[in-house]
Amino acid sequence: MVELHKPITTQLGIMTLVTTAIVPIILLLAAGALLRYRFLSDSGFWRGLEWMSYRVFTPALFITSIAGTDLTVVPFGPLLLSLAAPIIAVAGLVIALRRALRANGPQLTSMVQGAIRINTYIGLIFASALHGQGGVATFALASTIVVPLVNVICVSTLAAYGDKTAAQRRLPVWREFLENPLIQGCAIGLALNLTGLPLPDFLSATLGMLAAPALACGTLIAGAALHLTFRKRDTLDIGVATVLKLIVLPLAAAAIAVPLGVTGVTLASIVLICAVPTAPSAYVLASRMGGDTRLMASITGTQTILAIATLPAILALTDHFAT
C-alpha cells in the first residue's frame, strides 16, 4: 500500500516538479498541436485516440492506482466539502454575473464550463510527479466527486441557457454518470481496495499495460485541441472564466481544506483538481447542447497554456500557508 502522508511540494521540490511535470506537459502539448496541424490532420484519428484514452487507458490507470493505495488515511468528509462548496459557489457566481457581463445564454454556458470543468490528464501528470501512485489514486478519488458534480451543473446550465435550436438529443444525466468510464474505473478500484481481493497476475499486468499510455495520450489530445482565436468581446469572457478557474477556485478550495486539517497528498489533490484547466471535452458538450463552441475552444486553449505557470504557483502558495 502507498502512504499518503507527504507535503505537497517538498517531496521532489519545485525544480524537480518543473522537470518531471511542467516541461513534459509543454513538450507533449506542443507535440500534439504539431501532429494535429502538420502530420495527422484527420479528425477521425484524434476522435479515436480520445475515445481510447477516455474509455480504456485512463479507467485502467484509475483501477490500478486506487486498488494499490492505502485509502484509509483520506478524510472523505473534508475532501467532499472542500471540493463541492467552491465549485457550486463559482458556478453560481458566473450565472449571477450574467447581466453585468452582458453575456447571452450560449456565452454564459461556456463561461460556466470554463470556470469549473477539469482536464483530468494534466492533473494526473502533476499528481503522479508530486506523489506517485498515491497521488494518482487520491486525485482519482477526488474525480469521483468533481466529475458528477460538474456534469450536473454544466448539463443543467446548458439545458437552461443553451441554444435550443442547436442542441442535440442527449442521454439522461443519471445515465451519463453511470456510464462514465472514469467513475466506473474508480468504482472498480475502490471495490478491489476495500475487499482486498488480489487480481490474477495476468489481469494485473494487462491493466498496467493499458494504464501506461493514459497520461501521454491525454496530453497529446489536449495539445491537438488547442484553439486560440479571439474576438474583442471574448477577452472579458475568457478572462473571467480563467481567473475563476485557475486562481479563485483552487484558493477557495484550499481555504476550506486547510482549516479542516487536510494536509499532504489529499490537500494537493484538492488544489490540483480545482486548478487544472478546462477539458477539451467541454467543446463536445457545448456543441451537443447549444453552447458557444468558438468561445469554449478559446477558453480551453487559453487556460491550458496559462495553467502551466499557475498550477505550480498555486501549489507552492498552498504549501506555504499549510505548513
Q: What is the CATH number for 190?
A: 1.20.1530
269 exposed, middle or buried (CB, 10 Å; 0-12, 13-18, 19+)? buried
Residue 135 lies in a domain: yes
Output 38 or 10, whichever has higher pLDDT.
38
Residue 6 lies in a domain: no
| Mean per-residue pLDDT over the chain, rounded | 80
How many structural domains compose the chain?
1
Q: Residue 267 to residues 186, 300, 301, 313: CA-CA distances in angstroms?
A: 19, 25, 27, 15
For the stretch 109-160, pLDDT in tens is: 999 999 998 887 788 888 887 777 778 778 878 887 887 788 788 878 887 8
Q: Is residue 225 pLDDT above 80, yes or no?
A: no
Return d(Cα 120, Cα 234) in angstroms, integer. Answer: 25
Are 163 and 105 in contact by the 8 Å Cβ rule? The answer is yes
For the stretch 259-291, pLDDT in tens is: 998 888 889 889 999 999 887 767 767 776 778
Residue 173: the pLDDT is: 57
Share of the chain above pLDDT 70, in %: 83
Residue 4 lies in a domain: no
Residue 284: the pLDDT is: 66
Return d(Cα 120, Cα 221) in angstroms, integer. Answer: 12
Residue 208 lies in a domain: yes
Residue 1: the pLDDT is: 47
Residue 115: the pLDDT is: 94
For the stretch 295-319, pLDDT in tens is: 888 888 888 888 888 988 888 888 7
Lowest mean pLDDT among 43-52, 118-127, 162-171, 257-266: 162-171
Residue 12: the pLDDT is: 47
Residue 216: the pLDDT is: 80
Q: Is residue 211 pLDDT above 60, yes or no?
A: yes
Residue 287 lies in a domain: yes
Residue 7 lies in a domain: no
Confidence of residue 2 (pLDDT cuts 50, 70, 90): very low
Residue 255: the pLDDT is: 93
Which structural domain range is residue 194 located in?
A: 14-322
Residue 8: the pLDDT is: 53
Q: Is residue 79 pLDDT above 50, yes or no?
A: yes
Residue 270: the pLDDT is: 92
